[in-house]
């Protein structure tokens, strides 16, 4: 995906699931958390994203690292949003509908540290 960078905030269209589960669906903002083409040429043009929601609840306060809260305006977001780091997924380039903005480096550092923990890697890049 030429021109995209980790930390970009995009508008993506996530497919509906049948049967429905707890995965995010529909048109929504998402932050780019991985670009397979940084490692080598991927089979298909995909981008790894963490979707966002404007819905909050006690789960955000209970796990703030897993659900970073972004204030309105951060990354050019029009509304206060929560990044769902438990829902990272590959999205085909055809599902990317637009670019919103970019998260600051310090925010992306926090997000990337949490993603490493989610995938079982500690601060020293050791597998847990």
Structural domain of residue 37, as residue ranges?
Answer: 8-103
Residue 52 lies in a domain: yes
Name which residue leads in pLDDT, 1 or 19. Answer: 19
Any domain includes 120: no
| 118 in a structural domain | no
Q: Is residue 57 part of a domain?
A: yes
Domain membership of residue 93 (yes or no) is yes
116: in domain = no
Q: Is 126 domain-assigned?
A: no
Q: Domain of 45: which CATH number?
A: 2.30.30.110
Q: pLDDT (tens digit, 9 = 90+) per residue, 85-102?
A: 999 999 999 999 999 999
> CA dist 54 to 18, 59, 81, 94, 120, Å?
23, 13, 5, 24, 28
Number of domains in the chain: 1
| pLDDT more than 90, % of the chain | 81
Helices assigned H by DSSP within the chain: 58-62, 105-118
* pLDDT surpasses 80 at 67: yes
Inside any domain, residue 70: yes
């Amino acid at each position: 995906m030429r021109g995209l960078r980790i930390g970009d905030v995009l508008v993506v269209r996530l497919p509906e699931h049948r049967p429905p589960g707890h995965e995010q669906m529909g048109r929504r903002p998402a932050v780019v958390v991985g670009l397979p083409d940084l490692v080598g040429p991927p089979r298909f043009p995909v981008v790894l994203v963490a979707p966002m929601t404007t819905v909050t609840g006690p789960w955000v306060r209970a796990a703030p690292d897993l659900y970073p809260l972004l204030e309105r305006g951060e990354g050019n977001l029009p509304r206060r949003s929560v990044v769902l780091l438990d829902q990272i997924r590959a999205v085909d380039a055809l599902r990317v509908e637009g670019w919103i903005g970019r998260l600051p480096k310090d925010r992306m550092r926090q997000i990337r540290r949490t993603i490493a923990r989610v995938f079982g890697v500690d601060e020293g890049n050791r597998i847990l």
